[in-house]
């Protein structure tokens, strides 16, 4: 049974889904896709976005069906402990790689835009520290933190979009279809690692205070996040589609900053807005650290604090080894496209099957126990009647 | 009198106590008391009353005579020592078990004045004093209800300090009351000299830099907290009441908010939040911008600041830390030093250390201005001064070492940390995280008093309804 205090509310789930759906994708994905697909990146992103939203739907269904037990408990009850441990090891590995990718991109964001004199090793230390701190925390704390930060993130995002929207000539994003459907499909598929963020919601299964609005809130959050990503890509496409070569590999959201508020005379307030928005990416990184630690905690009988520290150290070592984020991205595109795509679809489907089976099992057990109770009750009633009859006979005698 | 001898000899110095022997009718009697803690006049009149009571044969009749001159009661022998140490006089009657406890306490106490940390322009000016009974009376005077419970405990092996746990029955959650009492009772200590000794017992994370227990020095504030379902702890000898559960937003509230117009109270709350944010983050942002992100500062301002920084030997981070250190030293010294030296100190602090250091080119005027603004802003939420001061230093370091990247990371970690903080089951970031829509009425915005119909949900009172009001139609 998941402890009540560790559960998150529907509002908190909403903010977590919004942050998961938006953070990593806006940070780098539009640029990466634009470089490969030009104007057609919009179509590719839309297609992948639809798949992702379907996966979110499945995940939300699993959340609604899930009894108040952790997903690990459900899997080990239905498939056995060994199978559950293997499955959760795979989950942990996937979430950890996502975390590495995310951390690498955050490093690029700051190193290219704000602190050009710093070595990437220095950047990595505080980021790993953040992952350690959030990793050893509770889901409830993550939920509350996202809820608290959500208004600031939303305001920064909205400000950026309004400012970008006023500056971009959106007619420049046409025409579509230069690359052909096959090319769009294959190139979008290659970026599967940047999708499938909702599969990490397995760690919240059984830990959500469900209401009638949970599904609606989840769907709205997912759609809003997808729209935000899409809007950003549209702006980027309209601005750079003719001159893709201007975006050197690795450039990120600040490529759009020339539309945003501020100049040298007034002070670059857009930098502040970007920093505020980046908090969403940091929360997402923390969530992945938490997901990794939670999965490992089920597999290894080690304290959460130690696991979190180990994840932080491992992250630091990998970031140290992978000094170039473009290499990391190339690695993700080359070797992780297929596994990531499978993972993205398989996890929600698997979660749905497991929770549905657990629910059916619970219902059967309930039926059986109520039948037993009824039988016992009728037995005792019969015995009571017998006794009463006997009593009456005695009285008559 | 064996009992008098036994009690007197149980003291390290038997001469600490005074015993007066006298006769009541045909029986011998003795009065035992602590001369430093008792009122001589009361004792004299009690003795006179006792000597006149010739026909008395037991405690009941003697008590009747004593009650005419002083407050008294019959108690067990076992309570005698403790009562003497509390300033009572004890009368033993030979051959009878038990004793008479005469209330003859006398010690100096401060008058009820306005507390220095919670001064108000509008509203009651009464503040707690060091006297336990006065403090309880001040609360009872405001809450004249049978439901007000005052559970009295004794804490401290040597000190035997009186501690009172106050709550309003039916409004405070029973589990909360039980938890507070059990936590206070669990403290095994020689003596407590102030209510702050109990703070770590009531906190879930005593090592945290954030307070999880509220403090109040005004009975009107405490009374309203009791009515919100909170539990209050008073300690004898301390003018500060502890309130639990405590939410972080309470630091930005003032008792006066409820006596002001709604719009102005809301404005003041927003102002306090902005001020505290400035106090904590402004030095860090200044350092980060001047070290790494010149582009964030408007060009003209940047030129002015850079001109002022010309010739300053220290980089921005060290300069700000140096000024912070100076400020903290001046603050600490001005609190500790004799008041007569205050003027001289402010001259030394402001002129010698501030003005001269700027003129000498050791520190820059923008740096002094930043710290001055931040330091003034710090005092808009007096309860948070300690926490904010530490955070200010921390974020200055983070800004200097990691620029905006460091600050963004730092803020995220800070919010995550605060999200995981609870005060006796209530989330410290409530009503924002978790979002409690009902409690937002008295969060940053203070809605009109008649709309605050329910008690704060974050506190978890079983009795939710607080106020009902319907407009009467005249004629």
Q: pLDDT tens across B206-255, in order?
A: 999 999 999 999 999 999 999 999 999 999 999 999 999 999 999 999 98
Do B207 and B276 share a domain, yes or no? no
pLDDT at residue A188, as a whole number: 87
Name the residue of chain B whose CA is nearest to A275's CA: B408
pLDDT at residue B466 is higher than 70: yes
Instruction: For residues B286 and B390, state if they share a domain.
Output: yes
Q: Is B319 exposed, middle or buried (0-12, 13-18, 19+ CB in 10 A)?
A: buried
Local structure of residue B149 (DSSP, 8 states): E
Question: How far apart are the C-alpha atoms of A146 and A287, rounded to whole Å?
Answer: 10
B437 lies in a domain? no
Q: Is B405 on the interface with A (CB under 8 A)?
A: yes
pLDDT of residue A52: 93
- Bridge partners, residue B74, by sequence: B100
Cβ atoms of A98 and A20 within 8 Å: the answer is no
Label residue A395 by pLDDT band (50, 70, 90).
Answer: very low
Same domain? B400 vs B310? yes
What are the structure tokens assigned to B324, written together? 């912070």
Is B437 part of the contact surface with chain A (CB cutoff 8 Å)?
A: no
Which of chain A's residues have a Cβ under 8 Å away from the Cβ of B411?
279
- Biggest CA-to-CA distance, chain A: 111
Domain membership flag for residue B233: yes
In contact, B79 and B101? CB cutoff 8 Å = yes
Percent of chain A with pLDDT over 90: 45
Closest residue to A137, CB basis, from B292, B412, B416: B416
Judge if B297 and B399 occupy the same domain.
Answer: yes
Distance linking the first and last C-alpha atoms of chain B: 78
Question: What is the overall mean pLDDT for chain A?
Answer: 85
Same domain (yes/no): B225, B337:
no
Instruction: Count CB-CB contacts under 10 A for residue A376.
Output: 10
Of A9, A114, A126, the CB nearest to B293: A114
Tokens of A251: 């450039």
Residues of B in contact with A117 (CB under 8 A): 292
| Cβ A247 vs Cβ A35: under 8 Å | yes
The SS3 assignment for A338 reads helix
3-class secondary structure, B337:
coil
The verdict on B286 and B170 lying in the same domain is: no
- Whether B378 maps to a domain, the answer reads yes
Residue A394 is predicted with a pLDDT of 47
Tokens 């995940």 correspond to what residue? Answer: A59
Q: How far apart are CA B114 and CA B44, in angstroms?
A: 36
Q: Looking at chain B, how many residues does it have?
A: 475
Residue A51 makes CB contacts below 8 A (sequence gap 6+) with A195, A344, A345
How many structural domains are present in chain B? 3
Residue B234 and residue B275 share a domain: no
Q: What percent of chain A has pLDDT over 70?
A: 87
With a cut of 80, say whether residue A211 has pLDDT above it. Answer: yes
Based on the fold, state whether residues B285 and B412 are members of the same structural domain: yes
Rounded distance, CA B231 to CA B233, Å? 7
The C-alpha atoms of residue A52 and residue B328 are separated, in whole angstroms, by: 54
Average model confidence (pLDDT) for chain B? 90
Can you tell me the mean pLDDT for B404-419?
94
Structure tokens at B289: 């911008």
Backbone angles phi, psi at B412, to 5 degrees: -60, -45
pLDDT at B93: 87
pLDDT at A386 > cutoff 70: no
State the best of B395, B399, B412, B422 to mutate against chain A, taking most chain A CBs within 10 Å: B412
Contact assignment for A144 to B301 by CB distance below 8 Å = no
User: Strands B72-75 and B231-235: what pairing?
Assistant: unpaired
Angle subtended at Cα B120 by Cα B116 and Cα B125, rounded to the nearest 5 degrees: 75
- Check CB contact under 8 Å for A144 and B429: yes
CA nearest to B77, candidates B99, B103, B100: B99
ipTM here: 0.88
CA nearest to B333, candidates B320, B322, B344: B344
- Sorted by sequence, the CB contacts under 8 Å of residue B93 that are 6+ apart come out as B24, B27, B28, B29, B58, B59, B62, B99, B100
Averaged pLDDT, A169-195: 83
Out of B61-70, B253-262, B342-351, which region has the weakest mean confidence (pLDDT)?
A: B342-351
| Secondary element (H or E) of residue B93 | strand B89-93
Higher pLDDT, A380 or A107: A107
For residues A94 and A350, is the Cβ–Cβ distance under 8 A? Answer: no
pLDDT at residue A56 in the model: 95
Question: Which of B409, B424, B425, B436 to probe the A interface (max A CBs under 10 A)?
Answer: B409
B299 close contact with A: CB closer than 8 A? yes
Which residues of chain B lie closer than 8 angstroms to A149, CB-CB?
412, 415
Least reliable range by pLDDT among A56-65, A243-252, B257-266: A243-252
A11 vs A121 pLDDT, higher one: A11
Q: Is B459 inside a domain boundary?
A: no
In a domain, B239, yes or no: yes
B292 and A114 within 8 Å at the Cβ level: the answer is yes
CB A26 within 8 A of CB A229: yes
Tell me how far apart the alpha carbons of residues A99 and B297 are, in angstroms, rounded to a whole number.
Answer: 33
How big is chain A, counted in residues?
397
Does pLDDT of A266 surpass 80?
Answer: no
Inform me whether the pLDDT recorded for B475 exceeds 60: no
Looking at the structure, tell me whether residues B237 and B268 fall in a common domain. no
Residues B96 and B242 in one domain: no
Among the four given CATH numbers 2.60.120.260, 1.20.1740.10, 3.60.10.10, 3.40.50.300, the one describing domain A4-396: 1.20.1740.10
In B102-249, alpha helices (H): 132-142, 174-185, 199-202, 219-227
Name chain A contacts of B297, Cβ cutoff 8 Å. 267
**Residue B268 CB contacts under 8 Å (≥ 6 apart), including other chains:** B254, B257, B260
Nearest CA distance, A69 vs chain B (angstrom): 22
Q: Nearest to residue A169, comparing CAs of A282, A300, A259?
A: A259
Question: Is B22's pLDDT higher than 80?
Answer: yes
Is some CB atom of chain B closer than 8 A to the CB atom of A282?
A: yes
Has residue B404 been placed in a domain?
yes
Cβ atoms B370, B286 nearer than 8 A: yes
The answer to whether residue B429 sits within a structural domain is no
Distance CA A352, CA A358 (A): 10
- Give the contacts of B179 (CB within 8 A, at least 6 positions apart): B424
Contacts of B289 (CB under 8 A, 6+ apart): B296, B297
Q: Which residues have a Cβ under 8 Å from the Cβ of B425 and sit 6 or more positions away?
A: B176, B245, B460
Q: What is the pLDDT of residue B54?
A: 73
CA distance A237 to A246: 12
Confidence tier at B277 by pLDDT (50, 70, 90): very high
Set of chain A residues whose Cβ sits within 8 Å of the Cβ of B405 = 110, 114-115, 123, 126, 275
- Examine the pLDDT at A397 and tell me if it is beyond 50: no
* Residue in A318, A338, A333, A335 with CA at minimum distance from that of residue A104: A318
Domain that holds residue B179: 132-246
Return the pLDDT at A166. Answer: 80
Residues B36 and B16: their CA atoms lie apart, in Å, by: 9
pLDDT band at A122 (very low <50, low <70, confident <90, very high): confident
Domain residue ranges of chain A, discontinuous segments joined by +: 4-396
Strand order in the sheet with B99-102: B18-24, B27-33, B89-93, B99-102, B72-75
CA–CA separation, B456 vs B475, rounded Å?
37
> How far, in Å, CA of B357 to CA of B364, rounded?
8
Q: What are phi and psi of B292, to 5 degrees?
A: -125, -30
* B51 and B73 co-located in one domain: yes
B142 in any annotated domain: yes
Domain co-membership, B284 together with B315: yes
Across the interface, whether the CB atoms of A148 and B405 are under 8 A apart is answered: no
């Amino acid at each position: 049974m998941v402890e009540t205090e560790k559960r998150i509310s529907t509002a908190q789930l909403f903010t977590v889904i919004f942050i998961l759906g938006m953070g990593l994708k806006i940070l780098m994905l539009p640029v990466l896709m634009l470089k490969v697909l030009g104007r057609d990146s919009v179509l590719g992103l839309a297609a992948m976005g639809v798949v992702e939203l379907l996966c979110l739907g499945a995940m939300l269904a699993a959340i609604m069906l899930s009894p108040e037990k952790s997903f690990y408990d459900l899997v080990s009850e239905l498939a056995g402990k060994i199978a559950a441990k293997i499955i959760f090891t795979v989950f942990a590995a996937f979430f950890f790689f996502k975390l590495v990718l995310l951390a690498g991109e955050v490093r690029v964001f700051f190193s290219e835009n704000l602190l050009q004199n710093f070595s990437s090793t220095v950047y990595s230390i505080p980021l790993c520290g953040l992952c350690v701190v959030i990793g050893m925390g509770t889901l409830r704390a993550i939920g509350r933190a996202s809820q608290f930060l959500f208004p600031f993130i939303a305001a920064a995002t909205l400000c950026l979009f309004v400012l970008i929207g006023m500056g971009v000539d959106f007619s420049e994003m046409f025409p579509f279809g230069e690359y052909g459907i096959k090319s769009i499909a294959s190139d979008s598929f290659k970026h599967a690692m940047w999708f499938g963020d909702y599969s990490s919601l397995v760690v919240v299964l059984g830990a959500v205070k469900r209401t009638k609005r949970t599904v609606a809130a989840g769907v709205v959050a997912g759609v809003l996040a997808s729209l935000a990503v899409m809007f950003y890509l549209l702006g980027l496409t309209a601005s750079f589609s003719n001159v893709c070569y201007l975006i050197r590999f690795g450039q990120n959201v600040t490529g759009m900053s020339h539309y945003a508020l501020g100049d040298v005379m007034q002070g670059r307030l857009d930098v502040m807005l970007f920093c505020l928005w980046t908090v969403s990416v940091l929360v997402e990184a923390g969530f992945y650290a938490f997901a990794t630690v939670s999965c490992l905690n089920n597999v290894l009988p080690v304290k959460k604090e130690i696991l979190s520290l180990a994840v932080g150290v491992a992250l630091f070592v990998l970031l140290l080894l992978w000094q170039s984020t473009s290499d990391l991205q190339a690695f993700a595109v080359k070797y992780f496209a297929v596994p990531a795509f499978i993972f993205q679809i398989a996890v929600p489907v698997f979660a749905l099957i497991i929770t549905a089976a657990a629910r059916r099992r619970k219902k059967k057990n309930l039926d059986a126990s109520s039948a037993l109770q009824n039988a016992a009750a009728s037995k005792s009633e019969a015995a009571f009647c017998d006794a009463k009859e006997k009593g009456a006979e005695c009285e008559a005698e | 009198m064996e009992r008098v001898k036994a009690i007197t000899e149980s003291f390290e110095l038997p001469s600490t106590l005074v015993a007066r022997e006298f006769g009541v009718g045909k029986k011998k009697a003795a009065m035992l008391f602590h001369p430093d803690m008792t009122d001589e006049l009361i004792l004299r009149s009690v003795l006179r009353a006792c000597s006149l009571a010739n026909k008395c044969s037991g405690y009941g009749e003697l008590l009747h005579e004593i009650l005419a001159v002083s407050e008294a009661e019959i108690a067990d022998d076992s309570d005698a020592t403790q009562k003497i140490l509390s300033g009572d006089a004890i009368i033993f009657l030979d051959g009878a078990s038990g004793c008479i406890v005469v209330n003859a306490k006398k010690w100096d106490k401060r008058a009820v004045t306005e507390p220095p940390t919670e001064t108000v322009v509008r509203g009651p000016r009464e503040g707690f004093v060091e006297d336990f009974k006065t403090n309880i009376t001040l609360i009872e005077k405001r809450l004249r209800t049978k439901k007000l419970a005052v559970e009295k405990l004794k804490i401290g092996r040597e000190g035997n300090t009186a501690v009172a746990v106050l709550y309003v029955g039916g409004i405070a959650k029973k589990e909360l009351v039980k938890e507070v009492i059990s936590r206070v009772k669990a403290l095994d200590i020689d003596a407590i000299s102030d209510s702050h000794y109990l703070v770590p017992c009531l906190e879930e994370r005593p090592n945290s830099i954030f307070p999880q227990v509220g403090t109040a020095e005004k009975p009107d504030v405490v009374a309203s907290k009791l009515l919100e379902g909170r539990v209050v702890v008073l300690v004898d000898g301390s003018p500060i009441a502890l309130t639990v559960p405590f939410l972080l937003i309470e630091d930005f509230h003032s008792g006066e908010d409820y006596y002001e117009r709604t719009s102005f109270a809301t404005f003041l709350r927003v102002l306090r939040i902005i001020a505290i944010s400035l106090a904590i983050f402004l030095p860090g942002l200044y350092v980060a911008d001047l070290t790494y992100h010149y582009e964030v500062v408007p060009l003209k301002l940047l030129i002015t600041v850079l001109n002022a920084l010309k010739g300053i030997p220290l980089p921005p981070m060290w300069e700000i830390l140096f000024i912070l250190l100076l400020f903290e030293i001046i603050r600490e010294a001005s609190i500790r030093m004799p008041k007569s030296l205050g003027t001289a100190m402010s001259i030394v602090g402001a002129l010698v250390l501030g003005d001269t250091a700027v003129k000498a080119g050791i520190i820059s005027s923008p740096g002094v201005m930043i710290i001055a603004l931040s330091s003034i802003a710090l005092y808009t939420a007096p309860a948070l001064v300690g926490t904010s001061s530490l955070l200010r230093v921390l974020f200055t370091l983070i800004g200097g070492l990691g620029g905006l990247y460091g600050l963004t990371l730092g803020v995220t970690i800070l919010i995550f940390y605060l999200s995981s903080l609870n005060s006796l089951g209530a989330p410290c970031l409530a009503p924002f995280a978790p979002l409690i829509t009902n409690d937002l009425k008295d969060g940053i915005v203070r809605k009109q008093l008649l709309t605050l119909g329910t008690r704060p949900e974050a506190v978890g009172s079983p009795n939710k309804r607080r106020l009902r009001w319907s407009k009467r139609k005249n004629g």
